[in-house]
Amino acid sequence: MIELGRFNQLKVVRTSDLGYMLSDGQTEVLMHFKESLKELKNNESVRVYIYADKENRLTATMHEPMLTFDKPAFVKVVNVIDNVGVFVSNNTPKDLLVSKDYLPYNLSQWPQVDDLLFCGLKQKKNYLLAKPLSRFDIISLKANINYALGERVEAYVNRVAEKGLGLITRDLVYVFVPNTQLRGTYRLGEKVFVNITKMLNGEAYGTLNEHKEILMQDDQAVILKYLKEHGGKMPLTAKSSSEDVLKYFNMSRKAFKRAYGALYKEQIIEFDENNTYLIKAID
């Protein structure tokens, strides 16, 4: 029986105008000439990957796909269609759909073209889908990699959750980054560089924040930009709550106070009970 989404050993039974007709002795499938790696002869046995074409007919290729039922992989996003999902390349003439059911409700968190998703292959009726692997799926792969603390690693966003981001590295290690260690917003499939802070039972924890000194300079620039654009006045002080800080800036209260204190120490700002004022011109 010919198996969809897997390699099959089939025999060439004849050649048509379009390509080679292959058979397992019961079912015939077409392999277009361009999908063959060499010229084939009748009765020759070939190893081919079986997928469904645009008309949902079984067809074959000798080219190596990115995904099979036995092998998850990073696949590149090639198209995004709202209310449908995203399509990823599987190195076959037909791209695979990642259904919107497997993607965040928020469209801004969907992957963009050229992003990479780590997926497994799924079958629904007679057609194939790609589905991003979960944290537990990734951990079950048992990558057996131990990063050094502080090591900077390339990774891709695998999950956007309420408490943080789930990432997967090229070594197939799952990395969790809590919200306190993020800067900005992120989407599935986005490439990031994560600094490892802890390894535990095959998982890693990390931060996307840079060194404090660099971050503090960036945060100072954000505060100064606001002051310049609002007549040199800001309705925040070092005593403002975390909620009030988040209303104006995408940073934690701790980061705000660190940058705020540096600006005050340099005599660039002054404050009263409710407001902060720009008192020194900065180019």
We report the CATH number of the domain holding residue 157 as: 2.40.50.140
- 126 closest CA partner among 2, 1, 31, 4: 4
pLDDT for 241: 92
Which residue segment(s) compose the domain that 11 sits in?
A: 7-61
Structure confidence by residue, pLDDT tens digits, 2-14? 999 999 999 999 9
CA distance 107 to 67: 25
pLDDT for 216: 61
pLDDT for 215: 57
pLDDT for 208: 87
Query: What letter does residue 134 receive in the DSSP assignment?
Result: P
- Find where tokens 């057609």 sit: 127
User: Do 196 and 216 share a domain, yes or no?
Assistant: no
Q: Could you say which of 21, 41, 61 is where a domain stops?
A: 61
pLDDT for 212: 54
pLDDT for 180: 81
Query: What letter does residue 251 receive in the DSSP assignment?
Result: S
Q: Which residues of the chain have pLDDT under 70?
A: 210-216, 282-283
Per-chain mean pLDDT for the chain? 90
We report the CATH number of the domain holding residue 223 as: 1.10.10.10
pLDDT for 126: 77
Number of structural domains in the chain: 4
Query: Looking at the domain assignment, is residue 97 inside a domain?
Result: yes
User: Do 202 and 232 share a domain, yes or no?
Assistant: no
CA distance 144 to 133: 18
Structure confidence by residue, pLDDT tens digits, 137-171? 999 988 888 898 888 899 999 999 888 999 999 99
Q: Could you say which of 187, 207, 227 is where a domain stops?
A: 207
Query: Looking at the domain assignment, is residue 68 inside a domain?
Result: no
pLDDT for 202: 81
